[in-house]
Amino acid sequence: MNDSELMQLFSGTGDNIGGCGTAYNSALRERGLPAPELARADADSIYVFHTADGNFQIEYTITGTVAVDPTDLDLSGVPDYVEQVGASFERSWATEVDSLGFAAPDLGGGRYHVSLRYNGSLFGYLREAFGWPGGTTIVVHRDMRLFCPAEPESELQACATNLLLATIAHEFKHAVQFAAGWNLFLSTEWNELDATWIEDLVYDDSNDYYRYLELPLSTFNSPTRSVLVGYYERCTWHHFLSENYGSGFLVDLEQRIGANPYLAVQRHYPLIAAGRSIDWNELWGDYTVANYLSATRAVPGMGFEEAADYPLSVVEVLPEIPTDSSIAASLEEMAMRFYEFDSAGSGTNGRV
């Protein structure tokens, strides 16, 4: 993506592609490009909403090109969209920090800053803001309906709400990563994998991540490609770890990355497993089986909790079990290969 295309994502002049813009914003900094100014009109009146639980302040406007929907059905004096954003951020804090134990942004007695004055191509993004509470700020799109099919109205609103809730849980996880000491300009694929995983823990019914599992580089469609390849679509790696070993495994990961952000992320997982007396080879073997047991192969009580809703993993079909050599072949790091074969007529035993 060239500089002009990158800037368009934030200016409001490009197509609505959706997704998280945190990595794109990091690219702005890496290229020495000016930080986006949220595509706002200077004359807009700016309002600030403080959440009741005290952790967030939401900045918005009801006029100009970045105005939120002013609908206020409860007559509170604050647009319903703004109140929904505030409630979702507080729920994300309660789940990610208070319940699961991930690092809390250091607010220093202040409130974390969120802006809804954005009309760009993305759902939202986090950017560093030194001197501000938490050291970062989050920008969320003013109207998620723009990313959804226009009709029917009921589906439009449901789609928009789902995108909003998933986006907030996701972007706040980036704030948590930063609070833990992660370098958001390194290993962006791991940052996105982790933030996509958390969406389902904050909003289990959202399942927005399902659409990423259909992408070509998901583990289900490209099992022979490393977990290191891809972004959102590899989030089921953390689903597996949290479902089988608890979220504490990933709290350990957060702390280890924060303490040593320049060590390749994949090196941390076996070390965490060893520290928890977990056999790494057995763990990886179980993860491999979990990916095979998806869709019509799903077995209740085995593999992923939501395996039946995941795509069917790609397999290589063999006519029989090879007996003269191993069927194993070289693989990328943290990758797998699936085989199916029919040995009924061979009269021999094979070893896999």
Q: How many CB atoms lie within 10 A of CB 101?
A: 14
pLDDT per residue rounded down to tens, the chain (352 residues): 888 888 888 877 778 889 999 988 888 888 888 766 554 545 468 999 999 999 999 999 999 889 999 999 999 999 999 999 999 999 999 999 999 999 999 999 999 999 999 988 999 999 999 899 999 999 999 999 999 987 788 789 999 999 999 999 999 999 999 999 998 877 788 999 999 999 999 999 999 999 999 999 999 999 999 998 878 999 999 999 999 999 999 999 999 999 998 899 999 999 999 999 999 999 999 999 999 999 999 999 999 999 999 999 999 888 776 665 555 566 788 999 898 887 665 555 544 4
Q: What is the domain partition of the chain in residue ranges?
A: 1-185, 209-352
Name the pTM for this structure. Answer: 0.92
CB-CB contact of 72 with 78 (8 Å): yes
Question: What is the rounded distance in angstroms from the CA atom of residue 284 to the CA atom of residue 129?
Answer: 38
327 residue type, one letter: I
Closest CA to 310 of 237, 256, 261: 237
292 residue type, one letter: Y
Question: What is the rounded distance in angstroms from the CA atom of residue 90 to the CA atom of residue 134?
Answer: 15
Question: What is the rounded distance in angstroms from the CA atom of residue 192 to the CA atom of residue 186?
Answer: 11
